[in-house]
Amino acid sequence: MTATTRTGPRTGGTTRTAAGTKARATGPARTALPGATAPALVVVAHGSRDPRALSTVRALLGDVRALRPALPVHLGHIELNEPLLPDTLGALGDAAPAVLVPLLLSRGHHVTRDIPEMAGAFPARTRVAAPLGPHPLLVDALHARLLEAGWPSRVPADGAVVLASAGSRDPQSRAGTARTATHLAARLGVPVLPAYASAAAPTVPEAVGALAARGYRRVAVASCFTAPGRFATECAAAAPWIVSAPLATHPAMARLLLHRYDEALRTVGTAARRAAPVP
């Protein structure tokens, strides 16, 4: 496992991203000593122009705080919304350790490059946890949302699901979504075909058409999105039958964030490097 860090000037504006700074070497991160204050949890959301997204993410952070009241919990965005991640890290101070948990559902460029590079621009001791998916808790939330949307308790013979996600050119992201689709299919007992809102194929309409061509007449769309936004809205519009709501504040999501936080502390240990993604 290697560390990916970088430095660079901080700039203003609400669409600042990780682009345009240079990498630098860093030393090992420290592990909190017994009795020491636990590292802060920084939830890293993508950001959205849809105002519902920010309110949903804030509600999710409230659920996390309710589960673990003594843990400092902060929010940082990659772009589009405030607080931006660099501002959150700057406010933590140089000596405050933190674990950055991406509020993203598969590994991709944001997880492997953008977030570690943003973190590397600050002297704070940080670690980047794994994204939320794939994981059984994510499947729990997807399954529950489908049931809420009207998925029948008895498996329909002509039923299938399209797992709609944001999409990425990174093959790691597509592999993670495919694994989530496989686990959801095992849970539901019907085919689940991954599809994407951008940057990858098939699209949701294409996946719906492919399943219909195979004889599946009741095709549901499972929204693999953390919050409402443009992609979630566009994918929902392509659903020929039922469509589930974004995962948002389903109880499994807060538990999953804390699981990734704890996992990062266990896995990285004293040999971890600052801002290194957990495999």
Q: DSSP letter string over 195-244?
A: EESSSSSSBHHHHHHHHHHTT--EEEEEE--SS-SHHHHHHHHT-SS-BP
**What pTM was estimated for this model as a whole?**
0.82
Residue 229 CA to residue 26 CA, distance in Å, equals: 36
Name the residue with tokens 């896995």: 267
Residue 148's CB: how many other CB atoms inside 10 A?
A: 12
Q: Predicted confidence band at 32 (pLDDT cuts at 50, 70, 90)? A: very low
Residue 13's CB: how many other CB atoms inside 10 A?
A: 8
Structure confidence by residue, pLDDT tens digits, 34-73: 345 789 999 999 999 999 999 999 999 999 999 999 999 9
Structure confidence by residue, pLDDT tens digits, 163-197: 999 989 899 999 999 999 999 999 999 999 999 99
Per-residue pLDDT at 22 exceeds 60: no
Residue 81 CA to residue 85 CA, distance in Å, equals: 10
DSSP 112: I
Q: Predicted confidence band at 122 (pLDDT cuts at 50, 70, 90)? A: confident
